[in-house]
Amino acid sequence: MGSPTVHITPLALIKRVWEKIAPLRLAETSWDNVGPMIEAPYPNPNHRQVLLTIDLTPSVAAEALALPSCSLIVSYHPPIFRGLKSLTLQDPLQNSLLKLSAKGISVFSPHTSLDATPNGINNWLIKPFLPMSSSNSTITNSTQIEGFEGAGMGRIVNLISPLNVHQAVRMIKDHLELEHVQLATPEIEKPISSIAVCAGSGASLFKGVEADLYLTGEMSHHEVLAAVHAGTSVILTNHTNTERPYLSQVLQGWLEKELNSEVDLHDDTPNGKWEVLVSKADRDPLRVV
């Protein structure tokens, strides 16, 4: 008689697969909180749906709970950032986590590991400018790991031929599927020959970075003023609008492929393929009205 098949849990599987996508060692662990957020004690081995989201809001949790076979949420932003003193149903976040765990759904957060990986969010953010670039590099380097050479935070791209700022605006709006962005320019607009990008909130990363254009989700009023005073134009999109399209444009297909590759290699059970979905309830909390 052969030994019984040992089912790998969804959380153990995503940890193994994530080493091929964006190892957690690439993250800014000095302040970030990446990896497993909550591990469901009794996952259903037949449930093979993953839900991708930027934020784990109550609406996203409800969406996951309504799916027929969800066993894992990959929430880009970690829903737990600081220590919890209790877990109660009165707190909306804790309520969501408790309900998800009770239904066998675990939560995993990659955050800055996905920013830093070479095929990550920041490299995707400069995608429209790559065909016209002469160089493309990180702003700061992350831990170097074999197979992930060139990992780091932010990107700066130098263009072969300069653009005017309004051309850059159109390209960014098309890429991010946005109708509106916020733009700040020096009194005398200069051609855009270099662009620095940082998904989310980029002001701290941009300190000391010389570029004709900063692209990020958000900066404070005084940070924008300082950039403009130094001759740099600024495009702001709201924080998560620099991150969310990456889920459907890149990560969804990539993660599904890697999950099913692992299953084909290590899992002999006939439970079917993994399906990766992008949340429909996830959206930036701010909107233009």
Q: Which amino acids are annotated as binding site for a divalent metal cation, given as ranges?
A: 77, 115, 239, 243
**From CA 43, how far away is CA 160, in angstroms rounded?**
52
Burial call 3-21: b when 16+ CB within 10 Å, e when fewer: eeeeeebbbebbeebbeeb
**From CA 7, how far away is CA 49, in angstroms rounded?**
16
**From CA 254, how far away is CA 232, in angstroms rounded?**
35
Do the Cβ atoms of 181 and 172 come closer than 8 Å?
yes
Residues facing 184 on adjacent strands: 234
Would you list which residues are annotated within the binding site? 77, 115, 239, 243
Residue 258, CA distances (Å) to 11, 201, 261 in order: 14, 29, 5
